[in-house]
Amino acid sequence: MIGLDQIKSQLKAFFIEVGELTYFTKRFFIEVVKRPFEMKEFLRQCYHMGNRSLLLVGITGFIIGLVLTLQTRPTLMEFGAVSWMPSMVSISIVREVGPIITALVCAGRIGSGIGAELGSMRVTEQIDAMEVSGTNPFKFLVATRVLAVTLMLPLLVLFGDAIALFGSFLVENIKGNVSFMLYFNKVFDALEFGDILPATIKSFFFGLAIGIVGCYKGFYCKKGTAGVGKAANSAVVLTSLLLFIIDFIAVFVTDIFYDL
C-alpha cells in the first residue's frame, strides 16, 4: 500500500515541477523578445520541425480520413443520411480530430527529439560550455525551438486536415461514386469561419506546449545516458497530457462562445 509520506512526497514533487515549468515558460516569453534574435537558428529549426514532419503528418492524416469515412459510412447508410458524409467528416476533422491527432504525432516526434537533443547536450556539458563562453544557451537553444514548433504546428495541422479530407474523398469516390467537385463543394458548404479559427488558435497552444515541455525536460536533464532517455520519454508523456487539457479548455471556451 502507498503510505501517507509517499503521497506527500509525490505531491510535493508534482507542485515543484509545476512551479519550475511555470518559471521556465515565463523565462521563454522574456527571452524571446530580447535582442539579438537568432534568426538563422530559428529558420533551421522551422525546417527541421516542419518540413521533416510533413511525411509523417501526411500519412497519419490520410489514414484518419480513410478510417473515419469507412467506419461512419455504414451507420449513415442505415439512416439514409450518407449524403451528409462530407459535411460530417469535414467538421469532425477540422474542429477536433485533425488538430489533436497531428499534435500527438508531433509530440512523439518533435517533443521527444527536443528532449533527447537538449538532454544529450546537457549531459556532454555543451550547454555549460555555451554559458562559460558568454553565449545565452536559453535564447539560442530553447527560444528558437519553442517558437519554431509554435509557428509550424498550425501549418502541419492544416496540411494534415487537407490530406485527411482527400483520403475521405477517395473512399466516397470508390464507394459512392462521388465526384471531386461535388465532395469538396459539400465540404466547404459545411465549414464556417468559426470552425477553422478556434482549431487554428488552439494549434498554436499545442505547439507552445510541445516546445516548452520538450525543452524543459531536455534543458534540465539529469546526468547520464539514462537521464537522456528519461527526458525524452517524460517529455512525450507530459506533453500528451497537456495537449488533452488544452484541448478540453479550448473546446469548453469555444462552446461558451457558440452559446452566446
**CB-CB contact of 76 with 191 (8 Å):** no
Torsion of CA 9, 11, 12, 18, to 10 degrees: 150
Read off the pLDDT of residues 102-128 as tens digits, 9 standing for 90 and up.
999 999 889 888 888 888 888 888 888
Other beta carbons within 10 Å of 82: 18
pLDDT value of residue 135? 76
Give pLDDT, residue 260: 63
pLDDT digits (tens, 9 = 90+) for 42-72: 899 999 888 888 999 999 999 999 999 998 8
Amino acid 1: pLDDT: 52
In whole angstroms, what is the distance from residue 205 CA to residue 186 CA? 30
Distance CA 250, CA 88 (A): 20
Which residues, in sequence order, are CB contacts of 19 under 8 Å at separation 6+?
none
Where do runs of H (alpha helix) occur along the chain? 4-31, 39-50, 54-78, 85-92, 98-106, 112-123, 126-132, 137, 144-176, 180-190, 193-219, 225-259
CA-nearest of 200, 11, 220, 191 to 102 is: 200
Q: Tell me what pLDDT residue 258 has.
A: 67
**CB under 8 Å to 218, separation ≥6 — which residues?**
114, 115, 116, 117, 118, 119, 121, 122, 231, 232, 235
pTM of the model: 0.89
pLDDT score, position 169: 92
What's the sign of the alpha-carbon dihedral 169, 172, 174, 178? negative
Average pLDDT, the chain: 87
- pLDDT tens, residue by residue, 132-147: 887 788 888 888 999 9
